[in-house]
Amino acid sequence: MLAIVRTAMVSLCRDRGALALSFILPVVFFSIFAVIFGGRRDSTPKVSVIIVDEDHSRASQRLVKGFQSEGSLTVKIRPAPVKGTDQPEYTATTAEAAVKAGRAPVALIIPHGFGDNPISFGPAAASRPTIQLLEDSSDMIAPQVIAGLLQKVALTSMPDVMAEQGSRYFDQFTGGLTREQRERVDSALRSLREREESGATMAASSASANGGIIAVTARAVVGENKNNPMVSFYAAAIGVMFLLFTASGAAGALLDEVESGTLDRVLSSRVTMTTLMLGKLTFNSLLAFLQLVVMFLWGWAVFKLDFWSHIPGFVVMGAFTALAVAAFGLLLASICRTRAQLGALSTLVILIMSSIGGSMFPRFLMSEAMQKAGLFTINAWAIDGFTKIFWRDEPISHLWPQVLVLIGFAIVLFAIARRVARRWEYA
């Protein structure tokens, strides 16, 4: 038995790929997951929220200020400057368009008249203007965070407004205060207001997010008509990950040909290395595209994915994603010397790419640093493109950033693969 253990140990030690898989992969994945979910404080993801203040009242401004002071939020009042020129503040219409375009997962619209009657301790009056929460339901977290924070901010940023409103309720239900009592209350409210306006620290509050004191009407502006909203996301996310595996496996045929001597024979004919690799790239791209077609058709047949009305966008994203993953597969194959090495390296690289690129978890769950790191992966751009088509119903013309980046990936990866493959050309 010891002989068997010894033989197995020696074999493992000589197989560097397997050794890497055995020890490095778990450590790498532990680190990635720890960074994604463990959350170092300085890189905890911030929730983006667009706020439109249509009211411009003291109460609404307090509310906006309260949101802006929340460390966990990135509050957007206006779009990012274009060519150094400040853009006008968001309106209800532009904010809704921005959510639909995926620039923020949620928008708050503070309507006209909000400041007249901002909070309600009892059942909200039907006529009272309510804050609108426009949400992108592909992000399951952000709208709930904002809804909860709205109640919290109302309590912590507008104590004077609350007291004033409470006083009004008191007047309404008790028949009013005496003149002396009224003066005292007004004086207390004044000092509370002055204290708030002077920027004194706000006391923390533990208001419940649900059934809160601020009336909110939530409305999904993206994905509200989808049969099964997350299916398109997962079809793209899982699809791209397996595309990468398929592409590296298919590119491994090159290594088989090297090993069997077939590559030498092919290169002794009219076929050049560039022609050969372009042929492999074309075939592997077609294979990857076909794989995507099968996956999305399955999504349509079983999970009611709205496939047929998005064919043009699917073809564009599918074709360029397939091209990029095929080039990626060729690069991996050209770097490796054996199938075993390719298996180990592709597992390592693809799982890392998939985890930080959003194939395993939506990228909005990750820290900002990880979200930025994800931009170096094919997964992130492919998923973004498919999401634009299937989730946001955006026109094909909006896919140009994803298409350009995927083409860039394909060109760079193929060029490197071709350069590395020179070692097979001549001895």
Residues 6 or more apart whose CB falls under 8 angstroms from that of 175 comprise none
Distance of CA 420 to the CA centre of its chain: 34
CB 339, min distance to other proteins, A: 14
Q: Return the number of other C-beta atoms located less than 10 Å from residue 406's C-beta.
A: 25
- The count of other CB atoms within 10 Å of the CB of residue 238 is 16
- To the nearest whole angstrom, how small is the minimum distance from the Cβ of residue 271 to other proteins? 5
Tell which residue, 182, 185, 158, 156, has the closest CA to residue 55: 158
- Residue 204 vs 427, nearer CB to other proteins: 427
We find the least distance from the C-beta atom of residue 426 to other proteins, in angstroms, to be 5
**What is the number of alpha carbons within 13 Å of residue 240 lying toward its C-beta?**
36
- Cα four-point dihedral sign 8, 13, 14, 17: positive
Q: Which residues contact 290 (CB under 8 A, 6 or more apart)?
A: none
Residue 318 · residue 327 · CB < 8 Å = no
**Virtual CA dihedral for 147, 152, 157, 162, nearest 10 degrees?**
100
User: Taking the complex as a whole, how short is the minimal distance between the CB of residue 256 and other proteins, in angstroms?
Assistant: 9
Question: Which of residues 31 and 262 has its CB atom nearest to other proteins in the complex?
Answer: 262
CB of 425 to other proteins, least distance (A): 9
Instruction: For residues 362 and 371, give the distance between their C-alpha atoms in angstroms, rounded to a whole number.
Output: 10
We find the least distance from the C-beta atom of residue 257 to other proteins, in angstroms, to be 8
Nearer to other proteins, 308 or 426 (CB): 426
Q: Which DSSP state fits 200?
A: P
- Residues near other proteins (CB under 8 A) are 260-262, 264-271, 426-427
208 vs 262, beta carbon nearer other proteins? 262
Question: Is 240 within 8 Å of 321 (Cβ atoms)?
Answer: yes
Minimum CB distance to other proteins smaller for 175 or for 261: 261
Comparing CB distances to other proteins, the nearer of 78 and 265 is 265
Q: Minimal distance in Å, beta carbon 18 to other proteins?
A: 25
Please give the full DSSP string across 214-239, using - where no structure is assigned: S-EEEEEEESTT-SSTTHHHHHHHHH
Task: Decide whether 258 or 324 has the Cβ nearer to other proteins.
Answer: 258
CB of 424 to other proteins, least distance (A): 10
- Cβ nearer to other proteins, comparing 168 with 423: 423
